[in-house]
Amino acid sequence: MAFNFYMPDIGEGVVEGEIVAWKVKEGDRVKLDQPLVDVMTDKATVELPSPRAGTITRINFKDGQICPVGQILVVIEDDGAVASPEPSKSENGHGHGQAPATRPAASAPASGAGTAIQVVDRTAPPSGGADGRGHAPVVEATASRLRVLATPATRRLARQLGVEIGRVPATGKHGRVTTQDVRGYSPNGGQVPDAGSGAPARPQHAPIAIARGGEEERIPLRGIRKKIAEAMARSVHTAAHFTYVEEIDMTELVSVRERAKARAAERGVRLNYLPFIVKAVVSGLKRWPQLNASLDEQTQELVRKKYYHIGIAAQGPQGLAVSVVREADRRSIFDLSREIDRLGEAVKSGSATREDLTGSTFTISSLGKLGGVLATPIINFPEVAILGVHKIEERPAVRNGQIVARHLMNLSISVDHRLADGWDGAMFLQDVKTLLEDPTTMFMELV
């Protein structure tokens, strides 16, 4: 019998996934857990394994196409299976985006951790910032949101109308919330406020066509490059960026690292400066919690997070990737170094999991020795700030009236001015500077 393999619904508002590359074709025989297809996650490509042994009879989405959650991705002929019918509206009871009752449990990947797909949330940026009075309420991070199926246009309409989409009764197929549902639920009859009543909407423009002007190569914008483009555009069009720069005298820390390298090597650790910077950042975030936060656009709440998952933005073989050091505040310098190395290798080899690449609360962007003198990094949306780390080099400096050679480095921080002030960013960076310039104070801060 034919087995319908649906694109899984993993919640958190995601509604669709991008097909990167099929590893099978129609007519192929497949085994249980055999890789079927590469699917784009937030920052990585993962393999989706076959939930059945059988013959591929139909592939519904080609490379580069978008498969919505709940749609049949592929059909597998399995002599021992019962056909899994496409669920109807009456079967799921309009359950606010919950998985249809008739969908078989085996529709999810069968091989366990590391293979579950993260589908892409292509929701447009919000139409507003704070609550209209200039202030967003502050709450602590709480439980995850309701699972809701809705298109990006529907979600944008809900934000414009001030409707909490998780409360809207769904009448669409598979329990999907429609634009009509949102307008019907809205207390003002579904009329979108004019431009004078809220923050500016995202600028709209017609797609630009590039005429052929000679010999050229055209590469489809898809996969990780497309995700990077979308993420950068959303951040720039949503967050109000400002950048503050400070010069750091790293001379003492250079000396500390040199003395610690031998002990680190005995433990199999390659010690660089990034673990020290992570420690200083975490300490600063504890003093300035408004920078370890995100704006919940749906509820218009500023969520200050009391956990410290530090993103490390670096170049990978497929483009920019942000790996995440979880619970950085609880790790030693050596442990941070091991984890940063592990994540870096996972990104290079393409084996990084969704857990490795999502969930950061604050991001550090570093190009190492190629870090340059200054940059204005783009915030890793929906975070509040990102720190740019630049190269360390010996330069002349005046100390006690004398010109001496010191190891100097610039740090630049970009902050979302909607949610934090220039004072916050400057004071945070001053705290980081103090710890890096006097490592003894940093070690006193360790927990």
Supply the residues annotated as catalytic. Answer: 417
Contact 302, 291 (CB under 8 A): no
Cα 158 to Cα 15: distance, rounded to the nearest angstrom: 15
Three-state secondary structure readout of the chain: CEEEEECCCCCCCCCEEEEEEECCCCCCEECCCCEEEEEECCCCEEEEECCCCEEEEEECCCCCCEEECCCEEEEEECCCCCCCCCCCHHHHCCCCCCCCCCCCHHHCCCCCCCCCCCCECCCCCCCCCCCCCCCCCEEECCCCCCCCEECHHHHHHHHHHCCCHHHCCCCCHHHEECHHHHHHHCCCCCCCCCHHHCCCCCCCCCCCCCCCCCCCCCCCCCHHHHHHHHHHHHHHHHCCEEEEEEEEECHHHHHHHHHHHHHHHHCCCCCCCHHHHHHHHHHHHHHCHHHCEEEECCCCEEEECCCCCEEEEEEECCEEEEEEECCHHHCCHHHHHHHHHHHHHHHHHCCCCHHHHCCCCEEEEECHHHCCCCCCCCCCCCECEEEEECCCEEEEEEECCEEEEEEEEEEEEEEECCCCCHHHHHHHHHHHHHHHHCHHHHHHHCC
* Largest Cα span, the chain: 86
List the one residue out of 299, 298, 342 whose CA is nearest residue 324. 342
Residue 212 in tokens: 């052929």
Cβ neighbours of 213 (radius 10 Å):
6
Residue 361 in tokens: 């609360």
Amino acid (one-letter) located at 160: Q
